[in-house]
Amino acid sequence: MEKQIRWGILGTGRIAHDFAVGLRDVPGAVLAAVGSRTKESAQSFAGEFGAAAAYGSYEELAQAPDVDIIYIGTPHPMHAANAKLALHGGKAVLCEKPFAMNLREAEEIVALARARNLFLMEAMWTRFMPALAEVRRIIGSGEIGAVGQVHADFGISATTDPEHRVNKLELGGGALLDLGIYPLSIACALLGKVSSVQAQAIIGETGVDLSTAFTMKHEGGTLSVCSCSLRARSACELVVSGTKGSIRMHRMFHMATQLTVALQDGSSRVVDVPYLGNGYPHEAIAAGDCLRAGRIEHPLMSHEETLSLMALLDSIRGQIGLRYPAD
């Protein structure tokens, strides 16, 4: 029987709930403990999901026995400190996106994981979704010819509450780090390393970016065109195009369950690409596989890849004049 992976969840917000739901569909995974800033919230979360231990501080979770890996679901500016806390406690880490606020923070976390020989991964769940695997397979088959471009957008009509984390500079608010990271990450997953990026943005009253658009030139001679918004409910699709046709990842492309392949002869077909549970099981399965194999990173979301995405986010932010307290 495969070794059980004992998970700890750090933070009890929205995504932490979704991830805990996802863990139910992960074979060999158990939710061993939860850590919150308050004991009440930890206990209520542990009660809801059947975790054996509930800690009223992140420090206690980091030091907890019987936990192999900690999932970090706090707002972005806390990721670096929380990830380092967990690594210092000898735990592997799966950290929500964006991995950190900037490249400097990301490098510190990666260096610590490598020094301690502990598994570490950015929780970019799309990388492990069946949809992306199928897109890669179709591209590899040559069906759409030589790939030249990716177009991707992720726009929602978000809350305008200035106290909500997406609008608060101190909580890492803004469209780019919350949403733009998806088109950025998938464009790079499909087209590879970036040689240059150009961006423009609309900055809102609270100082965060409301809408950002960027284009990237990739080293293989391809181009991606990406946008994100907290004020425009866009199609949220990704289209990858080649000399013979295109593949469209349907609405909410980052968790697509269907693709359309359209070819130059006018034909098209729809491919079903269902995911497990609520989609989050795939990244947790990938992390568990690495832990069992004694690996400290996953090839589909490597340390180097996370660092290069952070560097791109830093350059885009430099161009649009978006600075956070962590900078």
Residues that bind ligand NAP (CB under 6 A): 11-15, 36-38, 41, 73-76, 78, 96-97, 123, 125, 165, 178
Give the C-alpha separation, 213 to 203, whole Å: 12
Q: How far is the CB of 266 from ligand NAP (least distance, A)?
A: 36
Q: Closer CB to ligand NAP, residue 12 or residue 222? A: 12
**Residue at shortest CB range from ligand NAP:** 13
What is d(CA 172, CA 252) in angstroms, rounded to the nearest whole number?
A: 23
Annotation says 97 is catalytic: yes
By beta-carbon proximity to ligand NAP, the closer residue of 142 and 162 is: 162
CA-closest candidate to residue 91, choices 116, 124, 57, 123: 116
Pick 78 or 85: Cβ nearer ligand NAP: 78
CB of 10 to ligand NAP, least distance (A): 8
**Residue pointed to by tokens 């809408």:** 211
**Exposure on the CB side of residue 184, measured as CA atoms within 13 A:** 30
Nearer to ligand NAP, 25 or 143 (CB): 25
Pairing, β 194-203 against β 147-155: unpaired
Residue 98: asked if its preceding bond is cis (omega within 30°), the reply is yes
Residue pointed to by tokens 């195009």: 241
DSSP secondary structure string for all residues of 112-152: HHHHHT--EEE--GGGGSHHHHHHHHHHHHTTT-SEEEEEE
Residue 154: CB minimum distance to ligand NAP, A: 11
In angstroms, rounded to a whole number, what is the distance separating the alpha carbons of residues 226 and 149? 11
Nearer to ligand NAP among residue 170 and residue 219 (C-beta):
170
- Cα separation values, 99 from 70, 103, 169, 293, 311, Å: 14, 9, 17, 23, 12
Least Cβ distance, residue 19 to ligand NAP (angstroms) = 8
Q: Which is nearer to ligand NAP, 206 or 215 (CB)?
A: 206
- From CA 63, how far away is CA 65, in angstroms rounded? 7
Select which of 84, 91, 97, 168 is catalytic.
97
What gap in Å lies between CA 34 and CA 32, rounded to an integer?
7
Expressed in percent and rounded to 5, the helix, strand and coil fractions of the chain are 40, 25, 35
Residue 109 CB, nearest distance to ligand NAP (Å)?
Answer: 14
Asked if 213 and 234 touch (Cβ cutoff 8 Å), the reply is no
Nearest distance from residue 141's CB to ligand NAP, in Å? 29
Show which residues are catalytic: 97
